[in-house]
Chain A
Amino acid sequence: MRDAAPIILLLVVLSDLAILGTSRLSSCIRGLAAQGFLLGLLPVLIAPQLSVHAVSLAVGTVIVKGVALPWFLSWAIREAAVRREIEPIVGFIASQLLGALAVALAFAIASRLPLHTVQPLLVPVSLATLMIGFIVLTTRRKALVQVVGYVILENGVYLFGLTQTESVPFLIELGVLLDVFVGVFIMGIVVFHINREFDSLDATRLTELTD
């Protein structure tokens, strides 16, 4: 059981890089769903012994991040009738390279941090996911993909939180999950309205308000 965790963490990084490299919105969301499932498996694999806390967290994460969020985002795509992302501000190849750089940086930073966890790969993967989420959030044009970037960012923070499963009670994890879900829900509604008003999801067109 313990050996499965590193593989899952590596798959998480691969899913990050995959989302970074794809231009099709449906692929982005599928990658996100896959990531949600992987993240849901982790609490059960990392916990020293199987507890109600770990199992319920796993189930909650899978439901929210693996099923509910991707389903909702797919609904948003269908409503907005958008299929592809246009060339991002940084360019697909450049963002892939940035992502690789982020992974390298994350591993470098993590090796200097004084943290003793059961799972040594957890900290670098969480930092890498955080950074890649930030890259997606800031360099993509379509508002929906920015939401995906935000979820990836939150996933990175969640991964780091897994190093503290003893300290953070289940109620809080639930609260965090709920917050993320409601946040994405509201973002989705706003995206829907943006599409209606502006007839496109291109967030770089939101430039009316300025000083």
Chain B
Amino acid sequence: MSGADERKVGSLRELSPAIEPARDLWPQIEARINAERSITAAAPPRPARARAVPPRWLAAAAVVASVAVGVWIGRSLLPAARPGAQSPINPSRASFVDAPTALDVAYVSDPRYQRDRAALMKTLQARLAALPPPARAKVMASLAAIQGAKQDLQNALGKDPGNALLQELLVNTYQDEMRVLTDVHYAGDAGRGI
């Protein structure tokens, strides 16, 4: 407790309105601003922006896209496993849909997202065990691919925190992971394949 806190005052107006945050909040603000600015600046000349992205990150994007496609194929082609999965009252899916914009990397620190993800992770093993082996293998491969993509993108963002495209890809991977986890959850409920 600081000396300032022990100071006595005779009026509420003597209290200082200002309280300095314990940590510097500017770096994160600046990263968000730069992310938005680079997206805005990059919007018209698409080809130039694409050329500026290292092929490695395009590969990460491809991994994310392929995982998403894999999930979609799994949903579309295999027997219906989730009779209530599209229900608007599904809390995990609802919170996912409600998540902030794709560029909002900070959403991964959203307590709602973290709570939903933790709940899904807690039951993941049991849900996986309830799946038929081919579906289980497919899910595990998807999750491993997502994990790898996340790691690559996080490493890249460590070197270039203001890169909006990397941030967008990272958010996409988090969203894909939630999709897979939610599907596994409801597939496990139904006791059938994904």
Q: Do A and B bind each other?
A: no
Q: Which A residues are within 8 Å of any B CB, using their own CB?
A: none
Identify the B interface with A (CB < 8 A).
none
